[in-house]
Structure 1
């Protein structure tokens, strides 16, 4: 995000906050931030800060986002938006009560190639879309590290699986029904997981995520008149290929600036006096968390934060 801000007109990286002054100072020097703060509280007290980007582990998203909103700052909060839907609702309520902007930083929804793909699917270029298939699995040896920490809301789903969950919703609409199977590791977080969901018009989404092996990171969209293959990594892709049944494949490449597009959107909405995004509204972020909650319920993953 620090690099991406260079592409956001009128935006400036004025400060960085960390639990360690040494790390904050190092980051500030590396990316050109004006000031470094050795605590999150100090960052939120900095009156030169208008918009806070929360990029900590998702176990602390609710606490930090609410604190920033109550301090009068606008907030762009990384995915997964929270640990569960209850926390997400509390974050949305805090934003509305404070009169400040809050948005989930689901950058894939703002990438020009993904926006173009959605437009083409809506225009019927591959007929009726019947399925979206995706995988996002990496090899992260456990049992130590944040991915395996139950207290940090670890596991594959909230860190990786949120991408195919969100993308299928973006392309197919909200899920109607969800079925999940998975394996838990020695620390009780999900390490191997498969999910099938149904969507409006009878389409389905299918995805795999995990922490034990690296997958191809491809995504495929299947329609009645063709197939679209989104080039890896699908969540940050630069293009896709449309393979129509009645013609030659067409490769579509759309240049982009990564995280800059979600930041541009957030800044434009704030300048326009809006309190949430019209691309990923707060109710949508809450709904995505509810889907993740249901998947976790089915496979038996429970976090400490699930108990109020």
Structure 2
């Protein structure tokens, strides 16, 4: 790369894209170069607000722009596979919103494209790069909590408009893939892949899940997880071991700290994020691109495959199916 500045293109200009580009502006080496929407007016409004150099009325126009180094894909889940592969084949690196795809087969195809094109691809599990989460994993690996036996995590709030994108079954909507993947990710980075999954869901009339309960059974541990669009929760998380308990402060997936309770004593740890916290996954993308890596060792291609495999099993157990799933 000729310059130290990494030029970003953003595809899909919904709520999460607004949050992402506000954090992108906090990274000195990052430049919001271009944005794209299926509506050129929406692209112009978004691009003007955040001072993008180019605004496109189609995703393909943005992909063809030779100035762009990496594309952030923030469209509905069902479009991730095709847009990611198209972007990689256009010679662009890709950061794709979670879930990376709607099933394991789609994820494999995206990873194969990354390898074939020799371009960086990462799922945007920003929580994995949160400073508190990094410190939590360090303390667990140091044995501060003893052997981990139990994880409890949820991600639940009430959706006021149950007819929007988040509950549209044709877009792979529902609480599991929108929110439930966060608790699944937490259990996975601490305990790995479970031996067995038990799951059940309640559904909207559309067929999308409105709440899903999951139990992950490990050799010597269990995780009890929940996602919901019908009622709010504390959105906290607990990791319990033989030597102590760790509470991730709410809202846990964007946490600013955690507490450890051990031997009758409580210690609070505070790790305020830069911006909302997307900054850390952005910096990881930059590091990998500068080092000519096609994946991050902190959230690998295999990690994405593993988590979507668990989600596939949850859907199998609960009966959650998406139309035209390929």
Query: TM-score normalised to the size of structure 1?
Result: 0.96
Aligned residues: 305
Contact 2:72–2:97 under 8 Å retained in 1: yes
Q: Post-superposition shift, 1:6?
A: 2.7
Aligned to 2:266: 249
Please give the secondary structure, in 2, of the residue aligned with 1:75.
Answer: strand
* Aligned ranges 1:153-232 → 2 under 5 Å: 153-199=172-218, 202-232=220-250
* Among 1, 16, 19, the residue aligned to 2:38: 19
Contact 1:17–1:43 under 8 Å retained in 2: yes
**C-alpha deviations, 1:229-261, integer Å up to 9, x for none?**
1111111100001111x2420000012220010
For 1:305 and 1:272, locate their aligned partners in 2 and report how far apart those are by CA, in whole Å.
Answer: 38
Please give the secondary structure, in 1, of the residue aligned with 2:280.
Answer: helix
Contact 2:168–2:208 under 8 Å retained in 1: yes
Please give the secondary structure, in 2, of the residue aligned with 1:154.
Answer: coil
Query: TM-score normalised to the size of structure 2?
Result: 0.91
Q: Post-superposition shift, 1:9?
A: 3.7
Query: What runs of 5+ residues in structure 2 fail to find an aligned partner?
Result: 1-19
For 1:117 and 1:305, locate their aligned partners in 2 and report how far apart those are by CA, in whole Å.
Answer: 40
Higher alpha-carbon deviation: 212-221 or 138-147 = 138-147
Please give the secondary structure, in 2, of the residue aligned with 1:197.
Answer: strand
For 2:28 and 2:194, locate their aligned partners in 1 and report how far apart those are by CA, in whole Å.
Answer: 36
For 1:33 and 1:53, locate their aligned partners in 2 and report how far apart those are by CA, in whole Å.
Answer: 14
Aligned to 2:111: 92
For 2:26 and 2:272, locate their aligned partners in 1 and report how far apart those are by CA, in whole Å.
Answer: 13
Q: Post-superposition shift, 1:142?
A: 5.3
Q: Post-superposition shift, 1:286?
A: 1.4
* 2:305 is the alignment partner of 1:300: no
Aligned to 1:38: 57
* Among 254, 265, 274, the residue aligned to 1:236: 254
For 1:52 and 1:185, locate their aligned partners in 2 and report how far apart those are by CA, in whole Å.
Answer: 33
**C-alpha deviations, 1:245-282, integer Å up to 9, x for none?**
x2420000012220010110111011101111111111
Query: What runs of 5+ residues in structure 1 fail to find an aligned partner?
Result: none
For 1:293 and 1:275, locate their aligned partners in 2 and report how far apart those are by CA, in whole Å.
Answer: 25
Please give the secondary structure, in 2, of the residue aligned with 1:12.
Answer: strand
Please give the secondary structure, in 1, of the residue aligned with 2:31.
Answer: coil
* Aligned ranges 1:107-186 → 2 under 5 Å: 107-141=126-160, 143-186=162-205
**C-alpha deviations, 1:273-297, integer Å up to 9, x for none?**
1111111111221121111111011
Tell me which stretches of 4 or more aligned residues in structure 1 moved more than 6 Å. none
**C-alpha deviations, 1:80-131, integer Å up to 9, x for none?**
1101111111100111111111000100110111100110111111211111
Please give the secondary structure, in 1, of the residue aligned with 2:212.
Answer: strand
Q: Post-superposition shift, 1:155?
A: 0.8
CA-atom RMSD in angstroms? 1.2
Closer/same/farther in 2, CA of residues 73 and 174 from structure 1, 3 Å limit: same
* Aligned ranges 1:43-54 → 2 under 5 Å: 43-54=62-73
For 1:2 and 1:60, locate their aligned partners in 2 and report how far apart those are by CA, in whole Å.
Answer: 20
